[in-house]
Amino acid sequence: MDSSNNNLSNIGFTQDFGEFTDRDFHALSKFIYNEFGIQLPDKKKFLLKSRLIKRLKILGIPKYSDYVNYVLESGQKGSEEVIEMIDVVSTNKTDFFRENAHFDFLIDKVVPDFMGRGIKSPKVWSAGCSSGEEVYTICMVLEEEVRLNRLRDYQVYGSDISVSILKKAVKAIYPFSRAEQIPDRYRKRYLLKSKGDGKQEVRIVKTLRDKTRFMWLNLMDNQYVLSKNFDIIFCRNTLIYFDRETQRKVVTNMLEHLKPGGYLFIGHSESLLNQNIPNLKQIKPTIYLKLK
């Protein structure tokens, strides 16, 4: 036999995991929707199939159908494999200073409002924080307000359903190309450049890292293991993955953790129009105030 046949993996051979049937896709997508609120329409079938290959290889499961049964029979959404699965399925896209108008509003309107109300150490929650860019952007903005003596202190919490992406957020190390989106005045003060290893990376300074806390959290849970005294909640570009009913449930649950007079920011591609969520007043197209 030709010895080259023993090295198929080296010439692009890929393992055949069998057919990912419509039945398997619909069963798994229904589970993901029920447990995590993420919609996966039929056009996402190939995407889901390709993303699951990693899990089948790691577990040594030979067929997609066997994997779907394995996940569905796990029973609990907090089980180890379900957490691993949602980790590879979830989409994580974010940037520093994304939708910058929100941070301008934070500086120009929110902080002066807090100063007038005696809120000197605001507490912020970034829901769906991904790899932490939003969290550290908030920290940079608020740290400047501390330097100007407009605030005394602050805390920023970040939550996500992806364990691997949360680990990246905790490390706070990013390619230098990502940091180019950060304005110079923040970049010089709050970034550390890698030295001597050839890597073009930066790390958020410890002063800001110490102001953060990251945690795994499923927004579809009926109750969140979080305090109920946040002054600001950012939930941007996360609601777009939910249908209207799920959006209403998630926002209503989040508001339980926002103090009266607190602010909710959503993404520019999102809307809560006609949702009729109690005690929530729109003050800008994507900015809301919780009423007292």
Give the residue numbers marked as catalytic: 51, 160
How far, rounded to the nearest angstrom, does the alpha carbon of residue 37 sit from its chain's CA centroid? 14
Rounded Cα distance between 189 and 272, Å, is 37
Tokens in use for 153?
Answer: 């202190």
Beta strand 230-235 with 123-127 is parallel
Q: Tell me the Ramachandran region of residue 218: left when phi exceeds 0, alpha when psi lies from -120 to 50, beta otherwise.
A: beta
Q: CB burial class (10 A; 0-12, 13-18, 19+) of residue 77?
A: middle
**Helices 45-59/22-36 angle, 10° precision:** 90
- Residue in 149, 147, 150, 131 with CA at minimum distance from that of residue 186: 147
For residue 290, give the 3-state DSSP assignment.
Answer: strand
Q: Side chain identity at 118, as an amino acid letter?
A: G
- Residue in 217, 284, 285, 286 with CA at minimum distance from that of residue 257: 217
